Structure formats: structure tokens, C-alpha cells
Amino acid sequence: MEAAGARNRDARGRAEKSPPESRKVYMDYNATTPLEPEVIEAMTEAMREAWGNPSSSYPAGRKAKEIINTARENLAKMIGGQPQDVIFTSGGTESNNLVIQSMVKHFHKVHAANGDTGGHPSPVDRALPHIITCTVEHDSIRLPLEHLGEERKAEVTFVPVSKVNGQVEAEDILAAVRPATCLVTIMLANNETGVVMPVPEISRRVRALNQQRAAGGLPEVLVHTDAAQALGKQRVDVRDLGVDFLTIVGHKFYGPRIGALYVRGLGEHTPLYPMLFGGGQERNFRPGTENTPMIAGLGKAEFGERIHLNSQFPGAKRLPNTCNFSIQGPQLQGRALLAQCQTLLASVGAACHSDLGDRPSPVLLSCGIPVDVARNAIRLSVGRSSTRAEVDLVVQDLKQAVARLEGQA
């Protein structure tokens, strides 16, 4: 192969100038994302320092366990859930299959058993479980559902999306509910169109319907969302979404190729039946010796655990240009950090409050941000001429300023 920049030969063997070397631009981030350097660092450290079996009690094992617990806490924080409601899986495909298989098993267990044992009869005893989804889901939802339908283990309704806006309509989902419906699974954002589905509205309406269903002895309808494409691109909060299950896929948001499943009130409010049986890890919901380095990377992937976003309130709409955050650490008060920045020009709050000195913003305190977090707040607001490259520059600037203040640079 000719070296880059060398001359090509034309049909007669004469040298001709190569086309200018073309720069490749990656624009396939929905397929996968490169690993963040911090993620690679966390994974490398875990491979070096935490190679022990997380179930072992000696230091290398204990360190692995600690890393896994921290990653679980970070992931839970990222989606507004509880750490005990997060289990690690091999990826989105497994998380999606696990939800579907689990709901089918649960339905068969509860309703077939009632029919067989003469326990409390229900209007759906001996019926097949019914699952509702839409026509634009990823294959890791569509194919297991089709398979269950072919095997006569479940019935499935594929609700078409609107040709006007690409969304599935909550109304159509509700209209598809039958007595034996046990699960609605709708992706949060579509991988091909990027359309965001009305999951909060669907959950809200399903919850209201569940109250009527309970009175009639019908099974509760649980809601799952595959958030593979939304995480890392928009805020994802299980409290806002109101879902019972949420699929997390690391390699779509700068993390490694593993995943997780959020289950609201895992094992208590929401049942989960394992697909695998083995050594009891992940409280038996997903056994198999934990892949510590990958889990460490997943826990690092979105926001570092030190960043506190001060303006994310469940259900609140915000201006898209405004970001208020604190980097937590005793030396990182907002003003001190800004003073260390070499590129960034920003403030710690409203310009008209610049006489507050080191006192934290009363606005943030009124919104319930703890004093020690509010003290480190920085407000960034972008404008028409701001560019992505400038944002990247500012992130680097802030990282270097933090390292200087903490004496690491």
C-alpha cells in the first residue's frame, strides 16, 4: 500500500497528485461512542488494583467489591434511582431480554398457579401474558417478543408510531391494553430518528389505569423503557419517567460495552426473574463473577461522581443554554475555580449578586442545594455564537484548574 501523500499513477503509469488527504469525521455516535479517557483510566486501575474476586475477603477482592459498589451508586445517581435497584448486565440486549422474559415468567407463575391450585381465581387465569410495544423498537426488544409470540408463550401488540411526528401516542398504548397485559415497553429515544417518546405520559396513564385494574383483580401493568440512546444525550431520571424498568447501555455514552438494568424496588415492588443461574452474584438476579474493570468504567462514564448539577429538578423545564453545577471538593469554591481558569469567563451566579463575596447563592440555597455544594457553584450560559469546540475547551480548562487547586498540576 502506498504511503499517505504519495503520488498515484494514472492509467499510463504517470505520476498524478493525490487528492488532498481527507480528514475523517466520526458521526456515528448512536452506533457506539469512544471511551472517555477517565473511563479508560478507571478500567485500567481496576485491572491493576482490583483483580481479586469481588466475593473474596482479602484486599484485592475487597477493593473490587468497593469499586462495584461505587459504580452502582454513580449509575443510580445518574438516573435518579437507588443503588439497590441497579444490577449489572452484559449490555442492552441482555437488559431488554431480561425484562421481557421476567415479566412473562411472573405472569405464568402467578396466573397459571392460581388456575391450577384453586387459589384466588383471577379473570386472566390461563390467559397468555400480553405485552405492548411499538413498531420502531430495537431488535433486542422486537425479536424476543416476536419469538415469544411464535412459541405461544405471550401475545404482543406492536403499536404503530405516528407518521406525523414519529412518536408512539400514549392514547394508542392505552387503547391496546387488555385484561392480561402485564408490560408496556417503549424506548426513550429512537436510534434511527432520534425521536423522543412520551414515556412520562405513558407511565402516568398506565399508573392511573393500574388503580382501576387492581379493583378488578387484573394484573398490574409495568412500564419499561430502553434508554440506550437517551443516556448521555439528555437528562434521564427514573422519577420523571415514572418507569419500573430502565435499560442502560454503557457504550452509547462513552463507557464500556456492558450495561445495567434499573428495576424500581427490585424484588419488592417489582419482580425480577433471572435468566441465568449460578454463583449468586447481583443477589442472584444476574449471577456470574462480576466484570470489575467494565463495571468500574461504566460507573465513570457519564458524569464524574464529583459533579453536582444544581439545576436539575424532577419535572422542571429549564432554559437549554444554562448549566449550573458544582465540582465537589474542599478547595473548589466557585470563585477560586474561576480564578484559576485561563480560558473560561463565567460567574458563580447572577451578575447583580456579585457583591456576595464567598457566600453561596441565595437562589441555590432556596432551591434546596446544600450550602457546601452551593459554595462551589459555577453558572455557565452559552449564546448564539458559542460552539461545541468552545465547550470542549472550557471543560479542559476547568479540569486543569481543578488539578492546580488540588495540587496535582
- Is residue 264 within 8 A of residue 222, CB to CB? The reply is no
Stretch that binds ligand PLP, among 34-42, 75-83, 221-229, 341-349 (CB under 6 A): 221-229
Q: Minimum CB separation from ligand PLP for residue 156, in Å?
A: 17
249 binds ligand PLP per the rule CB under 6 A: yes
Q: What letter would DSSP give residue 34?
A: P
Q: Shortest distance, CB of residue 303 to ligand PLP, whole angstroms?
A: 21
Cβ distance to ligand PLP smaller for residue 95 or 281: 95
Compute the least distance from the CB of residue 256 to ligand PLP, in Å. 10
Q: Give CA separation, 105 vs 99, 109, 170, 187, in Å.
A: 10, 6, 26, 22
Cell numbers for 334, please give them.
466557585
* Least Cβ distance, residue 38 to ligand PLP (angstroms): 21
The three-state (H, E, C) secondary structure of 149-164, written as one string: HHCCCCEEEEECCCCC
Q: 92 near 247, Cβ under 8 Å?
A: yes
Out of 85, 169, 226, 282, the residue judged to bind ligand PLP by CB under 6 A: 226
From 19-27, 38-46, 90-98, 318-326, span contacting ligand PLP (CB under 6 A): 90-98
CA distance linking residue 253 with residue 245, whole number of Å? 19
**Strand, helix or coil for residue 237:** coil
191 near ligand PLP, judged by CB under 6 A? yes
DSSP H helical ranges for 108-151: 113-117, 139-150
Residue (226 or 240) nearer to ligand PLP, CB: 226
Mask: binding to ligand PLP, 356-375, rule CB under 6 A, as x and -? --------------------
| Closer of 101 and 229 to ligand PLP (Cβ) | 229
User: Can you tell me whether residue 166 is helix, strand or coil?
Assistant: coil
Q: Is 224 in the site for ligand PLP (CB under 6 A)?
A: no
Report in angstroms how near the CB of residue 394 gets to ligand PLP at its nearest.
30
131 close to 156: Cβ distance less than 8 angstroms: yes
Q: Is 85 in the site for ligand PLP (CB under 6 A)?
A: no
Among 100, 228, 241, 246, binds ligand PLP (CB under 6 A): 228
Query: What cell numbers appear for 47 in the block?
Result: 485491572
Using the rule CB under 6 A, give the single segment among 4-12, 88-96, 296-304, 344-352 that binds ligand PLP.
Answer: 88-96
Quick one: DSSP state of residue 307? Answer: E
Within 13 A of 303's CA, how many CA atoms are on the CB side? 21
Asked if 187 is part of the footprint of ligand PLP (rule: CB under 6 A), the reply reads yes
For residue 352, indicate whether it is catalytic: yes
Q: How far is the CB of 32 from ligand PLP (least distance, A)?
A: 8
- CB-based contacts of 302-308 (< 8 A; 24+ apart in sequence): 302/74, 302/78, 302/231, 302/232, 302/253, 302/254, 302/255, 303/78, 304/38, 305/70, 305/73, 305/74, 305/77, 308/369, 308/373, 308/376
Asked whether position 229 contacts ligand PLP by CB under 6 A, the answer is yes
Nearest to 193 by CA among 135, 253, 136: 136
Residue 340 lies near ligand PLP (rule: CB under 6 A): no
Choose the stretch contacting ligand PLP; rule: CB under 6 A; options: 85-93, 114-122, 194-202, 286-294. Answer: 85-93
CA distance 186 to 64: 35
Among 54, 91, 297, 299, binds ligand PLP (CB under 6 A): 91
Nearer to ligand PLP, 43 or 187 (CB): 187
Q: Which of 140, 324, 333, 376 binds ligand PLP (CB under 6 A)?
A: 140
Contacts to ligand PLP by CB under 6 A: 91-93, 138, 140, 187, 191, 226, 228-229, 249, 251
Give the residue numbers annotated as catalytic, written as ranges.
352
